[in-house]
Amino acid sequence: MPATDEPAPGAPTWTMSASELDDVSNLLGGVESTKREDLRAAVMEAAGRYLRWTRQEDAMPLLSRQRAQLAKVKNAAGRLVEELEKLASNPDAEFAFLYQLQRLSRDAEIFNVPDLATSMNIDVVRDLIAWLRDGATGEPRFLDDRSGPKSRPSLYLFVLSLCRLYEHITVKPATHNPYEKTRYDGAPQSAAGRFAEFIVRLVDPEVTPMQISTAMGYAVLELRRLRTAT
């Protein structure tokens, strides 16, 4: 995902018609005329981000290739840890290595502490590389190459932004309910869910109601976690 929300050259765009704005306003229980254009702008901005993210997701390499690249990082870090341990029997080389790290770190302001000369030692460097190695080991669930539909971080983030917009406009917490009375429907049935589903389906008709419902579940849990953390 990009670190900035600035539109990239040739980025896909989406616009909201006047009739669609009317429908969205009705789903929110009515929006003051002075705030309708703000609502349109907020939805279009979130939609633009989503479309850029989906384009990036479509360009991602296969998970098997991503796993292979992560394994290369893990193996390279593991070999470096082994070579660093050998410096213990080469004290002059160890001193030269640490001295150069200290100088480069100071120039780059990576470590800006007065006792750098005494605090940095080969064990610190080795532990740092081991930390990188262990990070590259990862957990299987983060790179799951199971059959069936893959996870859609872009959809989750889009739905999360729409839930936040819903809460900002209605001053009500977003909730999620996939049941039509007592019957499990799979599609979002809460007010926030219907709002999110309507917009997502306008922007990306290929997304199913059940996919939106799944994203709603995660988004509502995240918003609830953020409220209890403050």
CB-based burial label for 193 (10 Å; 0-12, 13-18, 19+): buried
> What per-residue confidence (pLDDT) applies to 207?
92
> What per-residue confidence (pLDDT) applies to 102?
76
> What per-residue confidence (pLDDT) applies to 57?
78
> What per-residue confidence (pLDDT) applies to 202?
95
For the chain, the distance separating the N- and C-terminal CA atoms, rounded to the nearest angstrom, is 26
> What per-residue confidence (pLDDT) applies to 7?
45
Distance (Å, whole) CA 188 – CA 149: 19
Give which of 168, 167, 163, 159 is closest to 214, Cα–Cα. 159
> What per-residue confidence (pLDDT) applies to 112?
47
Strand partners, 183: 180
Domain ranges of the chain: 18-60+151-229, 63-143
User: What is the pTM assigned to this prediction?
Assistant: 0.59
Q: Record the tokens describing residue 184, joined without a space.
A: 């499990």
* Residue tagged 């049941």 (tokens): 179
Q: Record the tokens describing residue 166, joined without a space.
A: 């819903």
Mean pLDDT, each 10-residue run in order, the chain (230 residues): 45 83 91 89 94 82 75 88 86 84 66 49 83 73 47 86 94 86 80 95 93 92 85
> What per-residue confidence (pLDDT) applies to 12?
58
**What is the separation of C-alpha 16 from the centre of its chain, rounded to a whole number of angstroms?**
25
> What per-residue confidence (pLDDT) applies to 38?
92
Q: What angle do CA 223, 46, 166 make, to 5 degrees?
A: 45
Give which of 161, 187, 165 is closest to 176, Cα–Cα. 187
Q: Record the tokens describing residue 6, joined without a space.
A: 């600035």
